[in-house]
Amino acid sequence: MDISVFIPAHNPRPDFMRRVLGALRDQTLDKSRWELALVDNRSEKPIAPLYDLSWHPNSRHLREENLGLTHARVRGFKEASTDLVILVDDDNILDADYLEQALAISSAYPFLGTWSGHIRPEFEDHSFRLKPGMSALLTLRDVKADVWSNDPSHNSSTPWGAGLCIRRDVICAYLDELSRNPSRAGLDLKGSTLLYGGDTDIAFIGCRSGFGKGVFTRLGLTHIISRERCSLAYLCRVARGRGYSEVLHQYLDSGSPPLPERISLRSALARLKLALQPRSERSVALAYLRGQQQALRDLSAANALS
């Protein structure tokens, strides 16, 4: 087999999950060339009896009792029997040729350790209109051209977790760093707690291991956005979590938190510009700043205790 596909899931919506599995069932890559596992991350009701995987000859259900997306991913990583792993969220509908294209990219770009592609929206609330500049808050991405780099600070080449493709060498390096610093597990979702950065962490560790990262136009999936996520309150929760995770990630990589912003004419002008934005954009930006500030306070308190 060439690919291991893992679906981490915590209390997934049955209608979404059926579509996720249906898209995998319809993949153009022959099923003899890939394996599939559905990783139940301590769902309130075990999901193995709910989803029949017998249509796939190399499939299995797994149960991970440690709550958190990182723990579910690690369980999948340790079970993988191939050199290429693809992560599929429980609301990701892969294009029919996703696995085939991912494998082709793996062969054509052996210097890449992680990659992904288009992430298109399907809004359950058809009346919802996402404000410009907020796509990332709902993990949406329009890839205009193939881009790759081995520079962690090169944002446009950094792949995201939906449909993330990872080489085994990068997985091994990531598991090694995670074992040496278990705090890295705090970069990801945990139940209803919205924290982010685990997929970026994997990509950055790949760069430090000598691999590049990239995004490709030929890879595509649809991200189903539930009605509950189409609200300003949810977007603010996401923004706060991303702000918190960004500070935590910098601390884990450098050993020291970023310095709080100094009072200056530039920062004063930035705050004035923020105050003049429309309500929704202002609320999201303020939530992001509050997340950063909370992370700085938490890290300062933790360092004071140690």
Q: Is the pLDDT of residue 181 over 90?
A: no
Output DSSP code: residue 303. Answer: H
Q: Model pTM? A: 0.89
pLDDT tens string 128-174: 888 877 888 888 999 999 999 999 889 999 999 899 999 999 999 99
CA–CA distances in Å: residue 76 to residues 68, 241, 277, 281 = 13, 25, 43, 37
What percent of the chain is predicted at pLDDT more than 90? Answer: 60
Query: Average pLDDT of 299-306?
Result: 65
- Report pLDDT for 46: 95
Looking at per-residue pLDDT, the higher value among 168 and 247 belongs to: 168
Q: What is the mean pLDDT of residues 234-246?
A: 86
Q: State the pLDDT at residue 290.
A: 85
Tell which residue, 304, 190, 305, 291, has the closest CA to residue 250. 291
Q: Flag whether pLDDT at 225 surpasses 70.
A: yes
- 256: phi then psi, degrees, rounded to nearest 5: -145, 140
Per the CB < 8 A criterion, the answer to whether 217 and 144 are in contact is yes
Q: Would residue 191 be called left, alpha or beta, if left means φ above 0 and alpha means ψ between -120 and 50 degrees? A: left
pLDDT band at 224 (very low <50, low <70, confident <90, very high): very high
pLDDT for residue 19 is more than 90: yes
Average the pLDDT over each of 171-175, 186-190, 210-214, 267-271 and give the range with the smallest value.
267-271
- pLDDT above 80 (res 301): no
Segment 103-122, tens digit of pLDDT: 999 999 999 999 999 999 99
Asked if 296 and 261 touch (Cβ cutoff 8 Å), the reply is no
Alpha carbon distance 257, 208 (integer Å): 20
> Residue 263's pLDDT is what?
43
| Nearest one of 189, 115, 104 to 156, comparing CA atoms | 115
Indicate if the pLDDT at residue 210 is higher than 90: yes
- Res. 278 pLDDT band, cuts 50 70 90: low
